[in-house]
Amino acid sequence: MKKKTSFHDVATFFILLVLILVILYSGLQILESSVLLTEEEPAETVKTKTVTRNGVAYFPRQDVTVLMVLGIDQFGPVESSHYYRNSGSADSVMLIVCDETNKTYTVLYLNRDTMVTMDVLGVRGEYAGTAYGQLALAHTYGTGLEDSNLNVRSTLMNFIHGMTIDYYVAMNMDALPVLNDAVGGVTVTVKDDFSEVNPSITMGELTLRGDQVIDFVRTRKDVGDQKNVTRMARQREYVDGFLRQLMNQEQENLEFALGLYEEVAPYIVTDCSAETLSGMLDRYADFTLAEVVTPEGESAVVDGHYEFYVDEEKLDELIIRLFYAPKK
């Protein structure tokens, strides 16, 4: 008989899948973002259909489930802006693509500065045109709740050529110190000089506490070479350390994950019910990580803000590989 999934298991799964994979890859832009408004009609989602590449016909796979995970550059518990705009950009954007045939999942990690076309929401939340700007800004249209997340989802679905995104989870960054301190802090090796950002982050081995973790995983301005790749290396180190601490706490207290989940729940917006999460755990608990991939492209600083232009040919190849199968 199959073991029934407990809420404790769901909480653990949620923390591992979302709080670790997502938040800790968060980014904070150095320069101010920009967006260009247009008067175009809403961009229609490209229908999933058979496509041909190099003489080979491919059809959309029906055995993949996609979860969109966002880290929102907003502090405090989630609350509505009560307006058609909000200040929370999606500084961390990931798609977790679950392959049910091969029992693997791929993390598609997207650059928050990727230039895309997105819908603009008017004063009543209705369509008011389109904008061309950084992907992160799609979340700023709407109240910061469901409408903002659905706007990011529709933007991403167009970006990945109409492939379906089944679920979303978004979390405010202010939950990170809560998670960090709950596991007793995370020890890292600080290789860059943070003195201009946070003098308490000293070089060498250091156990991060409180707001130190935000500065360590998010800051790139005035730290080291200021490159995103360097920041990502710090974030990966932190993820590994956090996971070890979480597992240690779980071994000592089986209810630890449940308590931690309850602490961070106010910082989360999702369309996943407890039943949905339970079902996902049952289906994907035995899946293994296949790869973490990032679309290739070129970065530029234009008029004082960062922009990333994806290589469309490489993106197409990636989409075909993840979401399509050759016809037999």
> Six-digit token pair at 72?
């929102």
Residue 277 burial by CB count (10 A; 0-12/13-18/19+): exposed, middle or buried? Answer: buried
Residue 101 pLDDT: 94
Pairwise CA distance, residues 184 & 253, whole Å: 13
pTM, two decimals, is 0.77
State how far the Cα of 193 lies from the Cα of 309, in Å rounded to an integer: 30
- Give the Cα separation of 199 and 254 in Å (integer): 37
Question: What is the structure's pLDDT at 43?
Answer: 42
Helix (H, G, I), strand (E, B) or coil at 24: helix
Length of the chain (residues) = 328
pLDDT confidence of residue 94: 86
Domains of the chain and CATH, by start: 7-326 (3.40.630.190)
What local confidence, expressed as pLDDT, does residue 7 receive?
39
* pLDDT at residue number 324: 95
Q: Write out pLDDT tens, residues 316-326.
A: 999 999 999 99
pLDDT of residue 243: 75
| Helix pair angle (7-14, 274-284), 10° resolution | 80
| CB-CB neighbours of 69 under 10 Å | 25
Q: What is the pLDDT at residue 296?
A: 93
Cα–Cα distance, 165 to 241 (Å, whole number): 30
Separation between Cα atoms, residue 257 and residue 203, nearest integer Å: 31
pLDDT, residue 84, reads 87
* Weakly modelled stretches of the chain, pLDDT under 50: 1-17, 19-34, 39-47
Instruction: Write down the pLDDT at residue 277.
Output: 67
